[in-house]
């Protein structure tokens, strides 16, 4: 039964090849001081930086730069960003980059005027925001996280070997996001396909929970089939606009909170994958890929009917003459074959995990209770061993 829920998403999206043309009109809604947040410098090589700077200057903005945001933004970098934002008394944080840059911008937005240590307050104690929030806008250059249209923000603390996400409320969602699929063309294949699997994992985390005849499940099956189709095309031709635009749109809808409605949601693949990332600093989508098949094989007996439905409706497995277990197994086998076809990492050993890390990774994996089985420490260690 579809339960009671409230749905709200305040982010305004501009999508398409001319999406950046709308930045100037959005900037007019904010004050003069802008914190420009970006990553390792690729936007300077591909020309996106120059385009954004030109628009900022044409609008008479004073720009404070905060570059060097790493793929897994750290608590140390967060403190640095807060200092820059306070010093500049910024009126808007403009994130130009992928999901990590958008995540980081949201973390800075809620942390700059926080009287407490933001890592402790938001990421350890999971408290809500009760201080001034700096609005955020995004210009997306990599797809995967859905951070352009949600309140999620993941930060890594290397000293504590923890990578934690906080899902903030509507007031922290980006006020606007600019999505031009062409901006994703220059991304290296490794990062591109990691983003593709991040999208798939977001959908599966919500899909594999509950067995009701839920509208959300039908939406997610459609998104998955579209993603599988378009990602195969994009791997062969990264500049296929139709494929890249479809994937960009799927990524947004995969995690803008819509398809979660009526679902308990799982998120254990993310909890385990993020813990792997805390130890190895590996690319997020690859940590998810490396643990997904072992995890889903482990929980499949507890949610067999949904795995059967997944195999038939997403992977086109013919059910005739097969047991439910055989149908479900074949669905996961086709998923694994697809993942290998994309070139995803299928072993955590490839990401730098060693046997002596397994207990610590399991300890750092937050236990969620929305899936088909609530795991314990030993279960996670077993899954990690299978992921090696």
Q: Is the dihedral of CA 38, 40, 42, 44 positive or negative?
A: positive
Which residues neighbour 199 within 8 Å (Cβ) at sequence distance 6 or greater? 143, 144, 146, 227, 247, 250, 251, 254
CATH 3.40.50.1970 domain range(s) in the chain: 12-183
Retrieve residue 343's tokens: 């070139």
Spell out the CATH class of 196-387: mainly alpha
165 sits in which H/E element = strand 162-167
CATH 1.20.1090.10 domain range(s) in the chain: 196-387
Residue 54 and residue 388: Cα distance in Å, rounded?
Answer: 48
Q: What percent of the chain has pLDDT over 70?
A: 99
Q: Average pLDDT, stretch 321-336? A: 98
Q: What pTM was estimated for this model as a whole?
A: 0.95
* Collapsed DSSP state (helix, strand, coil) of residue 200: helix
Distances (CA, A) of 181 to 3, 15, 136: 36, 8, 20
Retrieve residue 279's tokens: 């130890």
CATH topology for 12-183 is Rossmann fold (3.40.50)
Condensed to tens digits (0 to 9), the pLDDT of residues 270-326 reads 999 999 999 999 999 999 999 999 999 999 999 999 999 999 999 999 999 999 999
Do the bridges between strand 12-15 and strand 62-66 make them parallel or antiparallel, or are there none, so unpaired? Answer: unpaired
Q: What is the residue-averaged pLDDT of the chain?
A: 96
Condensed to tens digits (0 to 9), the pLDDT of residues 184-220 reads 999 999 999 999 999 999 999 999 998 778 899 999 9
Q: What percent of the chain has pLDDT over 90?
A: 96
Residue 249 has pLDDT above 70, yes or no: yes
pLDDT for 1 equals 61
Residue 38 and residue 167: Cα distance in Å, rounded?
Answer: 21
Q: Which of the four pLDDT bands, split at 50, 70 and 90, describes residue 109?
A: very high
Q: Which of the four pLDDT bands, split at 50, 70 and 90, describes residue 155?
A: very high
């Amino acid at each position: 039964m579809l339960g009671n829920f409230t749905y709200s998403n305040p982010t305004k999206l501009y999508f398409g090849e001319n999406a950046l043309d709308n930045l100037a009109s959005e900037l007019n809604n904010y004050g003069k001081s802008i914190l420009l947040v970006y990553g390792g410098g690729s936007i300077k090589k591909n020309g996106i930086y120059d385009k954004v700077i030109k628009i900022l200057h044409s609008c008479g903005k004073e720009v404070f730069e905060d570059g060097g945001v790493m793929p897994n933004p750290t608590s140390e970098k967060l403190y640095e960003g807060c200092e820059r934002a306070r010093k500049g008394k910024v009126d808007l944080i403009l994130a130009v980059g992928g999901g990590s840059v958008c995540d980081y911008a949201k973390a800075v937005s809620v942390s700059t005027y926080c009287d407490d240590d933001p890592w402790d307050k938001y990421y350890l104690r999971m408290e809500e925001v009760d201080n001034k929030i700096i609005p955020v806008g995004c210009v997306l250059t990599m797809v995967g996280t859905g951070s352009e249209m949600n309140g999620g923000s993941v930060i890594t603390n290397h000293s504590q070997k923890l990578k934690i996400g906080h899902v903030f409320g509507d007031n922290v969602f980006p006020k606007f996001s600019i999505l031009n699929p062409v901006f994703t063309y220059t991304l290296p294949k490794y990062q591109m396909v990691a983003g593709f699997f991040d999208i798939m994992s977001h959908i599966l985390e919500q899909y594999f929970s509950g067995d009701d005849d839920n509208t959300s499940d039908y939406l997610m099956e459609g998104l998955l089939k579209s993603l599988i189709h378009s990602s195969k095309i994009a791997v062969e031709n990264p500049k296929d606009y139709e494929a890249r635009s479809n994937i960009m749109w799927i990524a947004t809808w995969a995690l803008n909170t819509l398809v979660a409605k009526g679902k308990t949601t799982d998120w254990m693949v993310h909890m385990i994958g993020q813990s792997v990332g805390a130890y190895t600093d590996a690319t997020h989508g690859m940590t998810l890929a490396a643990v997904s098949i072992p995890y889903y094989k482990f929980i499949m007996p507890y949610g067999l009917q949904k795995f059967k439905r997944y195999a038939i409706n997403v992977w086109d497995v013919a059910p005739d003459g097969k047991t439910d277990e055989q149908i479900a197994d074949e669905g996961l086998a086709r998923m694994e074959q697809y993942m290998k076809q994309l070139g995803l990492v299928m072993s955590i050993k490839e990401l730098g995990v060693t046997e002596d890390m397994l207990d610590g990774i399991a300890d750092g994996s937050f236990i969620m209770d929305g899936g088909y089985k609530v795991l314990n420490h030993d279960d996670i260690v077993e899954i990690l061993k299978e992921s090696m």
